[in-house]
Amino acid sequence: MEEEEKSLRAQAQDAIYTEIIENTKELAEYRGSGGTVKALKELAEAYAWVTQPAQPH
């Protein structure tokens, strides 16, 4: 069970990281776009929660 949980956590981290990369590409294209900036911030926050759930975010 613990190994499966680690696998799910790793999958979640990878999925969020992939979305951060994709949004970063859009951010370069649409500098200052509020929607892209907000999405990137939210994804970074989600990644922080997934990688370090015990830390305050």
Q: pTM of the full predicted structure?
A: 0.58
Q: What is the pLDDT of residues 4-57, one digit of tens each?
A: 777 888 898 899 888 888 877 777 676 666 777 787 788 888 888 888 888 776
The pLDDT of residue 31 is 67
d(CA 51, CA 2): 16
The pLDDT of residue 47 is 83
CB proximity list for 47: less than 8 A, separation 6 or greater: 13, 16, 17, 20
The pLDDT of residue 57 is 64
pLDDT of 1 over the 70 cut: no
Backbone angles phi, psi at 52, to 5 degrees: -135, 70
Residue 3 has which token pair? Answer: 């190994």
Residue 44 has which token pair? Answer: 């970074």
